[in-house]
Structure 1
Amino acid sequence: MLSTLSTVATIVVVALIAREFGSERRGQILAAICAAVSGFVLGVGHLVSTATYDLLAWMLIGLFAVKLLRTGDGRWWLALGVTAGIAVENKYLVVLPIGALFVSLLIVGPRGVLRSWWLLAGVAVAGLIALPNILWQFQHDWPQLKVAGGISEDDGTENRIMFVPLQILQLSPFLVPVWIAGFRRIWRELPWARAVALAYPVLCVIVLAAGGKSYYALPLLLVLVAAGCEPTLRWIGRHRVVAVVGLTLTALTSAVFTLPVLPASAADFVIPVNKEQGEQIGWPAFAASVADAWERIPLGERSTATLFTGNYGEAGALVRYGPPHGLPSPYSAHMSFWDWARPPDTNTGPVLLVELERTPIFESYFRGCEQVGTIDSIVANDEDGTALVLCSAPAEAWSTLWPKVRQFY
């Protein structure tokens, strides 16, 4: 429900951005429709994820930035600061659009908005709101930055190769003419907003250099979509049937690629574009397979045995679906699942490892490891082929072992 409400708010903000660009009611409605049927908005809108709320924050930042440039009223820096500070509590990615906007303002102006005392006030407000998060990150050796580094190191090359195709596919190929029209309109007709248009290619360069995920730049495309609705309306006046067909196809393709509407047997078709589709399938069967492997542990040893998963998704699935199979609470050293609980030192018995792939270095932390099963998922998701490895015991006490096995990606 919270994700749905956040997404509805995002769609409304896109319409408000269109209004700031001079669109009348029809243009605002078209902007809302384009946002509502876009693949990215549908994709993050039906899941609870940091990206869901990050998207709303980016749209608010876009709205306040356009208001700032249109009016020249520096007080909008305060609104930007409040939004950025709250957004940092959710995800640090919010610094990217703001950084891209600063670079764009330095290149094309108007630089006058950067000489306002309100800018310093906005920075101070953002810092004050974000301070508890930043202090926690500092005290815990910046785990969020370690996650970002892991993404760049492990997936950076693939992210760079797929960046341009996914910019087109993840929002919708049918919306490409709209956001191109938006960029052209800003550059030719709205010179005061050129920094907003330039911020998108600047952000793309930053994400490519860092090896970040393609969706990091997608929210700014929605700002360009909002700007492109006026020229699109003029085009629709001459091509109504084509426009209706285009929006219908946008809605249908976005739903197919982002919502769980396909049968599981057909999900492999959309997983290359939207990996999350595969992560919504097969968890009950996954838990049943883990339970079969757990049954290999003698009854007398289960009270001191440990169920240890390779990632938080698997751990979450076993929390949800494991109890009916008699499985104990799982542990995982992945991301923040590591913080929530670690096995007690009294767990000196067998350890069932749920590994995406067998890793000798990781298994060296345990004794007598032997694969006793494999997850055979019905789709090509991360869990397909996961190894179930039964070890006789941890190599040392869990309190000593726990800091060594933590994974940030």
Structure 2
Amino acid sequence: MSGRPYLLLIFFLLFKLTFNYWAIYAGYDLHRDEYLHLDQANHLAAGYLSVPPFTAFISLLIKGLGGGMHWVRFFPALFGALTMLIVWKTVELLKGGWYAQLIAGLLFLCSALSRINTLFQPNSADILFWTLMLYLLMRYVKEGNSRLLLWLGLTTGIAFLNKYNVLFLVAGLLPALLISSQRKIFLDKYLYGGLLIAFLLALPNVIWQIQNGMPVIHHMHELAETQLVNVERMGFVKDQLGIFLIGTLIWLAGLLALIWYPSFYPYRFIGWTFLLVMALFIYLKAKGYYAYGIYPVLLAFGGVYWERLLSKGGLRYLRPVWVVLIIFPMAWLFRLIFPVLSPQQLHAAMTPLKREIFCRWEDGKLHELPQDFADMRGWRDLSDLAVKAYQQVPDSERKNTLILCDNYGQAGAINYYAGKTLSPAITFSADYLFWFPKMDSLHYLIVVGDEPMKYVRKYTSGYTKTGQINYVLAREYGTGVYLAEGILSDFSAKLQKWQLEEQARLRAWK
């Protein structure tokens, strides 16, 4: 690689690595999910209720680097940059030139994938692993190097440890390869060596799931009842068409070119995989971003195909048109897709139509801000309020004090910002069910969320409200902090009993 393509790649990678640091308004905190993932570093295990363990080990690395917000944002940006690098290499594999790399890279940047790469969640790594798996298969098809199947197995195993979503790609790939001209792959012994590697990597997490009663089944059932029930199948399809805006015509052309463009014939299994994965997701009424990992490779196909279309005669003078068509819509919508405005400015910019498009949350209702943005406000303030309540506890009693929260976002944020000075914050939500500290003697209780419920009030002599989140555009608006004292001696035992009951509820079998 030399000359113009090399400089383009350097530009795209540097831009991708730095984008997250200036595309987020300084007044935003981390996202509620990020606090949970970061807290997993303090409770390393082979599995978790919410995600497999890969993210926890990245959180441990972040913790080792100091745990600062800049490191939290670095890793999803890194995963995005690596995905872009694989797209670049895929264009090279397809013998595309600098123009194909340019529009594929621009389209990756000017899409919903860039928004995904601003959050420390398993999704950025999921997209990276999907892209790498498909790239390795394409290299195997072209080069016939069986050892690539061992690397495929390694990637698949790590992808499983990152997010179970990769099983949908596997479910699409296997029949796609069987019905394509590449079915000979099943006669290659290295494929089964790769499958063995993937199995061995996944095994500790599978054992954890079995030992804990397969809580992933409960998690999926709860997800279907509370979130996916609000997803319409046509809504999923519309979301796919909106990921790249006008650039949809690029990846769609690449997908269709697998049918009639001779150079793409060996890779037709990619097209079958796309159709089968999409059929699965539509049937299951999945969230739109579950399918994002299938697109980066299609950007490479689309870029190469459009480069060939615009390479003859006067058509080459139309090449700048695609650059404009990719950049302009993203520039127009940039302030709504990325949190570059203050919440007040973003709220003021919302018209009824924009609110309908951007502010419908997973509960199916319209709100004042996009859900992810509302999930990034109020957490520092909440932590400060918890510290304020904790300071009202006598020094001698702080070791006998517990912070009980309504949800994992609250507990994670308090532990992230003030974990070194406070007792651990816990909740009956998500993975915290397994993280209760042993506390035989409990004299004070700080309750975060709604006013203490009856099951708490009956075990205290009284409580006072010490603060509340008053920021109306935060998802935690109205969340209160309460200091309860005079805790009855049997409350610790009751708390442990409720914890075990909730754990049992998560088991697919009793």
TM range (shorter): 0.7 to 0.9
Q: CA deviation at 1:90?
A: 1.7
Are the equivalent residues in 2 in contact too, given 1:367–1:391 (CA < 8 A)? Answer: no
Residue in structure 1 matched with residue 500 of structure 2 by the alignment: 403
Q: CA deviation at 1:222?
A: 1.9
- The alpha-carbon distance between structure 1 residues 114 and 377, as it changes in their structure 2 partners (threshold 3 A), is farther
Q: CA deviation at 1:8?
A: 1.2
Listed one character per residue, the Cα deviations across residues 222-261 of structure 1 (whole Å, up to 9, x for unaligned) are 2212110123333583534532322222543574345331
Q: Distance in 2 between matches of 1:159 and 1:395?
A: 41
Letter in 2 for 1:210: L
Q: CA deviation at 1:216?
A: 1.0
- The alpha-carbon distance between structure 1 residues 380 and 2, as it changes in their structure 2 partners (threshold 3 A), is closer
Aligned partner of 1:367 among 458, 468, 473: 458
Q: Which moved more, 1:278-287 or 1:221-230?
A: 278-287
Are the equivalent residues in 2 in contact too, given 1:58–1:219 (CA < 8 A)? Answer: yes
Letter in 1 for 2:471: S
Q: Distance in 2 between matches of 1:337 and 1:43?
A: 28
Q: CA deviation at 1:173?
A: 1.1
Asked if 1:347 corresponds to 2:442, the answer is yes
Alignment of 1:28-43 (within 5 A): 28-40=101-113, 42-43=114-115
Aligned partner of 1:98 among 140, 165, 170: 170
Asked if 1:218 corresponds to 2:292, the answer is yes
Alignment of 1:66-215 (within 5 A): 66-161=138-233, 162-169=235-242, 171-189=243-261, 190-215=264-289
Q: Distance in 1 between matches of 2:156 and 2:237?
A: 27
Q: CA deviation at 1:124?
A: 0.8
Alignment of 1:315-354 (within 5 A): 315-322=411-418, 328-342=423-437, 344-347=439-442, 349-354=444-449
- The alpha-carbon distance between structure 1 residues 103 and 152, as it changes in their structure 2 partners (threshold 3 A), is farther
Q: CA deviation at 1:52?
A: 1.9
- The alpha-carbon distance between structure 1 residues 75 and 9, as it changes in their structure 2 partners (threshold 3 A), is same
Letter in 2 for 1:28: Q
Q: CA deviation at 1:220?
A: 0.5
Q: Distance in 1 between matches of 2:416 and 2:359?
A: 24
Q: Distance in 2 between matches of 1:176 and 1:359?
A: 50
Residue in structure 2 matched with residue 245 of structure 1 by the alignment: 324
Provide the TM-score with structure 2 as the length reference. Answer: 0.68
Q: CA deviation at 1:183?
A: 0.7
Q: Distance in 2 between matches of 1:238 and 1:183?
A: 24
Residue in structure 1 matched with residue 407 of structure 2 by the alignment: 311
Q: Distance in 2 between matches of 1:195 and 1:138?
A: 34
- The alpha-carbon distance between structure 1 residues 14 and 254, as it changes in their structure 2 partners (threshold 3 A), is farther
List runs of 5+ in structure 2 lacking aligned partners. Answer: 1-73, 351-357, 362-369
Q: Percent identity?
A: 22
Q: Which moved more, 1:261-270 or 1:236-245?
A: 236-245
Listed one character per residue, the Cα deviations across residues 318-347 of structure 1 (whole Å, up to 9, x for unaligned) are 1234479x8643112322233334361312
Q: Distance in 2 between matches of 1:13 and 1:177?
A: 21
Q: CA deviation at 1:366?
A: 6.0
Q: CA deviation at 1:23?
A: 1.5
Letter in 1 for 2:437: R
Residue in structure 2 matched with residue 256 of structure 1 by the alignment: 335
Q: Partner of 1:239: helix, strand, or coil?
A: helix
Q: Which moved more, 1:211-220 or 1:64-73?
A: 64-73
Listed one character per residue, the Cα deviations across residues 111-135 of structure 1 (whole Å, up to 9, x for unaligned) are 2222322221111111122222222
Q: Which moved more, 1:306-315 or 1:52-61?
A: 306-315
Listed one character per residue, the Cα deviations across residues 347-398 of structure 1 (whole Å, up to 9, x for unaligned) are 254451425xx897xx5466379895764433253x2344657767548433
Q: CA deviation at 1:56?
A: 1.3
Asked if 1:2 corresponds to 2:78, the answer is no
Select the structure with the greater relative contact order (CA < 8 A; seq sep ≥ 6).
Answer: 2
Residue in structure 2 matched with residue 56 of structure 1 by the alignment: 128
Letter in 1 for 2:434: D
Are the equivalent residues in 1 in contact too, given 2:400–2:443 (CA < 8 A)? Answer: yes
Q: Which moved more, 1:202-211 or 1:309-318?
A: 202-211
Q: Partner of 2:449: helix, strand, or coil?
A: strand
Asked if 1:15 corresponds to 2:110, the answer is no
- The alpha-carbon distance between structure 1 residues 228 and 288, as it changes in their structure 2 partners (threshold 3 A), is same
Q: Partner of 2:250: helix, strand, or coil?
A: helix
Q: Partner of 2:477: helix, strand, or coil?
A: coil
Aligned partner of 2:477 among 384, 394, 398: 384
Q: Distance in 2 between matches of 1:227 and 1:245?
A: 20
Q: Distance in 2 between matches of 1:220 and 1:230?
A: 17
Listed one character per residue, the Cα deviations across residues 251-286 of structure 1 (whole Å, up to 9, x for unaligned) are 435743453311111445545486322222222233
Q: CA deviation at 1:101?
A: 1.0
Q: CA deviation at 1:136?
A: 2.3
Residue in structure 2 matched with residue 25 of structure 1 by the alignment: 98
Q: CA deviation at 1:299?
A: 9.1
Q: How many residues align?
A: 400
Q: Distance in 2 between matches of 1:200 and 1:366?
A: 54
RMSD: 3.4
Q: Partner of 1:204: helix, strand, or coil?
A: helix
Letter in 1 for 2:89: L
